[in-house]
Amino acid sequence: MSTFTDMARINVKGGDGGAGCMSFRREAFVPKGGPDGGDGGHGGDVVLVCDPQLSSLIDYRYKHHFRADRGTHGQGSRKHGRDGEDLVLRVPLGTVVRELDAETQEPLYQIADLTHPGERVIVAPGGIGGRGNIHFVTSVRRAPAFAEKGEPAAEHWIELEMKLMADAALVGMPSVGKSSLIARMSAARPKIADYPFTTLVPNLGVVKLDDASFVVADVPGLIEGASEGKGLGHEFLRHIERTALVMHVVDVTGGFEGRDPVDDYRVINRELSAYAADLGDRLQVVVANKCDMPGTEDAVARLRAAAAEDGREFFPVSAVTGEGLEPLIRSVASHVSALRKEMQVEGEGATFDKVWEADRQRRDRKIDIKNLGGGVWRVTGKAIERMVVQTDWDNEEAVLFLQHRFDRMGLDDGLERAGCRAGDEVRILGYAFEFEGTDAADEFDELNDRDDQVLGEILEDDDDVITVGEINSHAEDGLADGFEAESTDSQAAQDEAE
């Protein structure tokens, strides 16, 4: 049985955050000791790291659930809880990570594309630890009797898809000699036999020429309808997507079935275009294999004309004798070198780790406001929901502090701009509270709290990321960036009645 695995779906969950401690200092001969509750520790993250030593996703074939360590609770005497350790999962080069819908298991969006050694992305952030009551002292509240709960980390499914990192890919019908070619050009030793679908998994080989080298992939044979799931090769068409150059191998003898080489050439190109539109336009060289066989001159001439019509280079070769391989290898090496230089220029200065983390934080900060009608509004968003679950709803002071945080992050302004009026009901998760408007008194206004951290660790050097301060300033002119409001006709009726 093959141990090659290029697709996996796993369930990941960061560690839960520890709860903050509500405590007061009680010590002999120390009057008015005051609050001294420590913070809870942050939960560990689940992190994917790109490891060039791995060649497949076999580690995730049988184990599908991964959990990071939780943070511990805070204690009195300002003792903070320990942070949970991150769980590092290693994946091969060329791994695409996607978020899956919890119910349908269909991909929702791409999280990251790991193509460089050492690249890492957080796929399940740990929960934030709750703050102890030492953080909530104000001039009017000298002894705050509440602390934040730890944030429970979210659990979700992700899809891992590995696409081979090769410079060129050998594609073509079954039994056209792709495995023989890669064995002749490189040190790869794939299985070679005189029956179709000998190659069951992609093979990689390194081709060296003078001081240059490139990686070529031997992809299992394709047939007509492969893009729709027919045959074996459709399982591995994804591995052609990453290659910068396609080496289209055609058997000019027609094989055992006596196929027409030009028809084979057209069929495979249609399948590539049907699978991914850009594959049809990918740089391609046409390789006429088995030219050492007698009686193939007419087929070679017709295939050469078809390649010239499409503006593609043509190389008649023989994998058995080695005839014509050197010009082919030199041409491919030249194309690969030029394409590498283009990719290097395009990728200069790119820090993909930061880009993916910034994308995750933007999704985390996004807040949707929806008018349900009848003076009822629903607010959704990971950041806002995190605040709610960290709040002790049985503690009046904790609820007042939550409203303070809503105001500091711009939610009150967003609600007002969306049409919410004082006295309307606002629902978040399973909780509901009455909207008091933006002019309501705030007993915690003097606190220099960490709302920016609640919204995510925002990259300081990323000009595209909107900080909390910018959100608040935008709220004066209109709906704050990061908010999306949806209204219904009931709001228009309410305005008309007023």
Task: Write down which residue in 136, 162, 188 finishes a domain.
Answer: 162
For residue range 41-57, list pLDDT tens digits in order: 999 999 999 887 887 78
Tokens found for residue 485: 């409001």
**Are 99 and 111 in contact, with CB atoms under 8 Å apart?**
yes
119 and 199 share one domain: no
Largest CA distance in the chain: 107
For residue range 264-299, list pLDDT tens digits in order: 999 888 888 887 777 777 889 999 999 988 888 999
What CATH number is attached to the domain comprising 96?
2.70.210.12
Per-residue pLDDT of the chain (498 residues; tens, 9 = 90+): 344 567 899 999 999 999 999 998 877 776 667 888 999 999 999 999 988 788 778 889 889 999 999 999 999 888 999 999 999 999 988 899 999 998 898 999 899 888 888 889 999 999 989 999 888 887 777 888 889 899 899 899 999 988 777 788 888 888 888 888 888 887 655 444 444 444 445 677 778 877 777 888 887 766 565 445 554 445 556 667 778 889 999 999 887 777 899 999 998 888 888 877 777 778 899 999 999 888 889 999 999 999 999 999 999 999 888 889 999 989 998 888 888 777 654 544 445 667 777 787 788 778 888 888 888 999 888 888 888 888 888 888 888 888 888 877 778 888 888 888 888 898 988 888 888 876 665 566 656 554 433 333 323 333 333 233 333 333 333 334 444 555 444 344 344 433
151 and 279 share one domain: no
127 and 8 share one domain: yes
SS3 197: coil
For residue range 303-340, list pLDDT tens digits in order: 999 999 999 999 999 988 888 999 998 999 888 888 87
Q: Which of the 8 DSSP states describes residue 440?
A: S
Identify residue 164 by its one-letter amino acid code: L
SS3 438: coil
What CATH number is attached to the domain comprising 433?
3.30.300.350
User: How many angstroms separate the CA atoms of 113 and 352, rounded?
Assistant: 9
234 and 152 share one domain: no
332 and 382 share one domain: no
What CATH number is attached to the domain comprising 195?
3.40.50.300
76 and 114 share one domain: yes
Residue 487 confidence (pLDDT): 43
Q: Which domain holds residue 172?
A: 168-347
User: How many angstroms separate the CA atoms of 199 and 221, rounded?
Assistant: 7
317 and 194 share one domain: yes
| Residue 164 vs residues 112, 143, 390: alpha-carbon distances, Å | 16, 60, 43
**Count of structural domains, the chain:** 3
195 and 131 share one domain: no
Residue 140 confidence (pLDDT): 76
Task: Write down which residue in 133, 162, 191 finishes a domain.
Answer: 162
Strand order in the sheet with 431-434: 431-434, 425-428, 376-380, 367-373, 483-486
Task: Write down which residue in 162, 188, 208 finishes a domain.
Answer: 162
251 and 291 share one domain: yes
Tokens found for residue 285: 């060289």
**Are 307 and 314 in contact, with CB atoms under 8 Å apart?**
yes
What is the chain's Cα-based Rg?
Answer: 31
For 158, residues 6+ apart whose C-beta sits below 8 A from its C-beta are: 9, 10, 12, 97, 98, 99, 100, 111, 123
For residue range 15-34, list pLDDT tens digits in order: 999 999 999 887 777 666 78
280 and 252 share one domain: yes
142 and 289 share one domain: no
Q: At what angle do helices 468-475 and 396-409 cross, to 10 degrees?
A: 80
51 and 147 share one domain: yes
**Are 86 and 52 in contact, with CB atoms under 8 Å apart?**
no
